[in-house]
Copies of this chain bind each other. A is one copy, B any other.
């Protein structure tokens, strides 16, 4: 069982947390008899500095040779003055998603036992816990719809973007949401704005059609504006949240923040052939980069998702998740997860990686 992984560590804390994920993968390879070859490529700001663009041809070609992309994080103040298209985040992530047709973005988010108090929610709400997966369509909608641009002059000059969805695009992501729900709490909440958007009316129609094949799964529709509210009041009532590209961008971040522990959240962006890009949900955190205090867990869990979805090594994925669970259960935590009074017990990036690697 041999695999090729393209490693795109990127900027900020990316390289530090990636080093820990690699450490954990070494243990996993040994224990499960896997043979993974890693090739490192520049991406984001690092690639802008070295090649003048956030996603160099060599990086793209390298990813094409691989079975999966393990992605760190990109961006930072140094490149913020650049025009949007050339910035690290947009200039690297969107072309990668488009090029590999990574239409399915999975963002799991839950409150871990003992970490409920990190949630910005009131104790009586967070104490009930929650465990949600956001299933976000990632290669359609207003992100990629054409036409997009500007026309006219002076005060009548206008900009325009097109939100566009086909039945096929909606159906394939909806199916994944229902399949996911089947393995969880059998509930799909489909987010739309069907009282305003033509795309949402079609979205609702197709999701209803797909639902017929999953009589064991409960489907509810919710307007995006209402969803931002209900998630605050009763996050525990959600299981799988199915979203279009833009609504998923917005809601998955709200849900991530509700956990209060962004450093624990990973995400998978996959295509129809099982190829995928795996990355932490948090950003490049330039403010703490290089200090050795960043939480590597999200990156390590991204490696677990890679093992599960692209390399089809479920046991190895579970081993990583169990090892992470052990660290959290034993209160082995980086500083941002600890109350101010206990910060002196904070573990470093490296200590976290070592602990989890040992626990494999």
> Footprint of B on A, CB under 8 Å?
84, 87, 89-90, 94, 117, 119-123, 125-126, 142-143, 145, 148-150, 152, 154-168, 171, 193-199, 201-203, 224-226, 228-229, 232-233, 246, 249-254, 256-258
4 closest A-B pairs by beta carbon, nearest first, are A159-B202, A229-B257, A158-B166, A228-B254
Are the C-beta atoms of B150 and A167 separated by less than 8 Å? no
Within the complex, which residue of B122, B156, B196, B225 is in contact with A122, where a contact is CB–CB below 8 Å?
Answer: B122
**A194: min CB distance to chain B, Å:** 6
Are the C-beta atoms of B198 and A226 separated by less than 8 Å? no
Within the complex, which residue of B145, B168, B254 is in contact with A232, where a contact is CB–CB below 8 Å?
Answer: B254
**A76: min CB distance to chain B, Å:** 14
Expressed in whole angstroms, the Cα–Cα distance for A254 and B195 within the complex equals 18
Are the C-beta atoms of A228 and B199 separated by less than 8 Å? no
**A157: min CB distance to chain B, Å:** 5
Expressed in whole angstroms, the Cα–Cα distance for A160 and B165 within the complex equals 7
Residues in B whose Cβ lies below 8 Å from that of A198: 148-150, 159-161
Expressed in whole angstroms, the Cα–Cα distance for A163 and B150 within the complex equals 12
Residues in B whose Cβ lies below 8 Å from that of A119: 122
Nearest neighbor of A145 in chain B, beta-carbon distance: B160
Are the C-beta atoms of A199 and B159 separated by less than 8 Å? yes
Are the C-beta atoms of B163 and A163 separated by less than 8 Å? yes
Are the C-beta atoms of A158 and B164 separated by less than 8 Å? yes
Residues in B whose Cβ lies below 8 Å from that of A201: 84, 159
With contacts A198-B148, A254-B229 taken as known, whether A165 is within 8 angstroms of B155 at the C-beta atoms is no
Expressed in whole angstroms, the Cα–Cα distance for A120 and B148 within the complex equals 39
**A291: min CB distance to chain B, Å:** 21
For A168, A194, A197, the residue with the greatest tally of chain B CB atoms inside 10 Å of its CB is: A197
Within the complex, which residue of B126, B167, B171, B257 is in contact with A233, where a contact is CB–CB below 8 Å?
Answer: B257
Residues in B whose Cβ lies below 8 Å from that of A226: 253
**A141: min CB distance to chain B, Å:** 10
Residues in B whose Cβ lies below 8 Å from that of A251: 228
Expressed in whole angstroms, the Cα–Cα distance for A35 and B137 within the complex equals 55
Are the C-beta atoms of B167 and A155 separated by less than 8 Å? yes
